[in-house]
Amino acid sequence: MLSTELQLALAPAHTYGRLVASGEGSRAGVFGPLAFSALATALTVTFLSARWATLELVAIVGASWSFTLALQAVAACAVILPSRRRVGLARAFELFFLGHAPWTLFMLAVGALAIAGQGAFGAITGVIVSGVLPTIWTGIIVAAFTRVVLAAGPGEASLRAVFHQVLIWTFGLSYIAWAAGGWMRIVQAVTP
């Protein structure tokens, strides 16, 4: 049997419908998916930077990168809070974060390639370009979440999915720009 996360990745509307109708939830609530996301992020960043991991190093990196969970929560709030819901607020957040499989798989693949000596697909550009598949896949999952859990129409669901991805990419690219010394430094580097 596939995990709930993989079921959501493969059949998001059907799986969300089943989860909403059954009222089933995990004992970990929203903390289970968030903890798994934090672990995947910590492992990926550790493997990209050190190409090996110890429990202590993964814990330190996980704590250092915990701000990414806060950014994901902000993006989730932008999708969930202004909506009607068929479930309670905590359950809506749990269901939303269960849809993280495309990005988790992407991050773990990047980490595995780093361990294999391939770096981050050779360059940061490769990572950004390869992020297209999880972006589209996550958009499909967020649209299904919005239709089924938040009772939105198809048009609104699509708009919310696009808005969510724009927020996530804005946060991510802004962090990269900040780490590189700011947007102007990047603009200077890419312009003749």
pLDDT digits (tens, 9 = 90+) for 155-166: 999 999 999 999
Domain ranges for the chain: 4-190
- The Cα–Cα gap between 90 and 139 comes to 21
| Confidence grade of residue 95 (pLDDT, cut at 50, 70, 90) | very high
pLDDT for the residue numbered 105: 84
pLDDT digits (tens, 9 = 90+) for 112-154: 777 776 554 444 555 666 778 888 999 999 999 999 999 999 9
Average pLDDT over residues 82-103: 89
pLDDT digits (tens, 9 = 90+) for 171-182: 887 877 777 677
Average pLDDT over residues 77-90: 90
